[in-house]
Amino acid sequence: MPLNRRHFLMGAASAAFAATKPAQTPNILLIVADDLASWMLGCYGNQEIHTPNIDTLARSGMRFINSFCCSPICSPSRATLLTGRLPQQHGIEDFLTPQPIAHPPQGQADAPASFANEVMLSDILSARGYNCGHVGKWHMGHDEQPGHGLQYTYTMSGGSRSYRDPEMFLNGKSVQEQGYLTDLMTKRSCDFLDQQTANKPFFLTTAYLNPHTPYEGHPQKYYDMYSKTIFDTFGWERAAPNALREKNMLTDIVGNIRKCAASTTALDDQIPVLLRKLRERNLLDNTIVVFTGDNGYLLGRHGLWSKGLASDPINMYEEVMGVPMLWSWPGHIPAEASRPDLISFYDFLPTICDITGSALPAGRNLTGRSYAALAQNQPLPKKQPWKQTVFGHFRNTEMVRNTRYKLVLRNGGAGPNELWDMANDPREKTNQYENARFITIRDQLHKELDGWKKRVAS
């Protein structure tokens, strides 16, 4: 979008104001969607899924163009977002389920006992005097009563998959609800916001299930919106030979995309309700609103349906690693701004600690960096340039990606491995791993990935 003079002056004024510390410690509202890729949103270029409210939120602040999760699966991804630690550090390396599958490995029976000792963002901010709440999906163990400095919780069972009349846990007590799950989560979030005042900061995570399966149970009006949409710009393909457990989704690709789109738009309609509540409580101006998704999703691209476990071997395609990251903070983050810098989920905790003046947890061997200056569109110190490299880990599969290339190694390098030229092959169709022309690049990325693994070994 062209930057006219008015927007330029607004952006310059916001950036200048952001250079000074806020008069009050900022509140934080973190909105997390489940299985929502950046490519599925209008503000990231999608032409057929309607997300006008998320798009408006993006225009109100900073949109990170190249934001990545660390693991293309929910439980480890959420744990990394909230601890700043990697799956091989915090110990949740797959989605939690009472019935994991052995061959190929899918799912993890429970979080390790050591996870209770992880320092989460809510622990840090609670110790700083924040009121901390978590509404919605937790899925990191002890769903009914997560702990970790949370004074208010409204959570669903980790294995729950119902959008209608769900059983929920309100501050640890079971409640049988009536109605649409997504609306119920918004209502409980608003209940928490109604308890907040300007003299004490809050940190609230609202973690929606949308647009995760099942695709039934959403209000009919959202299905009706897409009844004739053909999704001819999606780039979906017929089922791949290595697709796992998802043939039923891939037999009616357009029909299932319609349902997923309906769930996504239902999520989109929750955003103005939350923002309106912040405005009613005179909290909006001092609240950082962050919107993201826990991992991406394929929706038929590469002939696969879901995410990293959609195939055997595990995939780390851009569609499953790329997630939205939108920041809005009136007067501190310039409107209609975007950044191309590569950032990861493991950078989120250091960034929030930086902005709130909170010390990083000791002895955690964090790999992330604060991108607070990037979020506020401030210049970085010349001696501390932003390293344009991100890493990924999911069970036996690891990734290193820079602005041009992506290396994916499996089974400690034994393979099968991939090297993608993202500039010339953004849809990852031609594997260059064995191409002699790319040996120098491949070996350099190998070296970077090995160095990263050594740094984060504890």
The string of pLDDT tens digits covering residues 297-336 is 999 999 999 999 999 999 999 999 999 999 999 999 999 9
| pLDDT reported for residue 16 | 38
| pLDDT reported for residue 247 | 76
Each residue of 277-294: pLDDT tens digit? 999 999 999 999 999 999
| pLDDT reported for residue 159 | 65
Distance from the Cα of residue 216 to its chain's centroid: 23
Q: Is it the case that residue 6 has pLDDT exceeding 80? A: no
Q: Is it the case that residue 52 has pLDDT exceeding 60? A: yes
Q: Quick count: other Cβ atoms within 10 Å of Cβ 404? A: 12
Q: Is it the case that residue 394 has pLDDT exceeding 50? A: yes
As a whole number, the mean pLDDT across the chain is 93
Mean pLDDT score, 413-440: 98
For the chain, which residues make up each domain, given as ranges?
A: 5-388, 396-458
Q: Does domain 396-458 have CATH number 3.20.20.240?
A: no
The residues, ordered by sequence, that sit 6+ positions from 133 with a Cβ below 8 Å of its Cβ are 150, 151, 152, 153, 154, 189, 192, 202, 203, 204, 205
pTM over 0.85: yes
Each residue of 228-252: pLDDT tens digit? 999 999 999 999 999 987 877 888 9
Burial track 35-71 (b if 16+ CB lie within 10 A, e otherwise): bbbbbbbbbbebebbbbebbbbbbbbbbbbbbbbbbb
Q: What is the CATH number of domain 5-388?
A: 3.40.720.10
Give strand pairing partners of 391: 400
**318/114 Cα distance (integer angstroms):** 31
Cβ–Cβ < 8 Å for 182, 163: yes
Mean pLDDT score, 253-271: 98
What are phi and psi for residue 206, nearest 5 degrees?
Answer: -110, 110
Mean pLDDT score, 90-95: 96
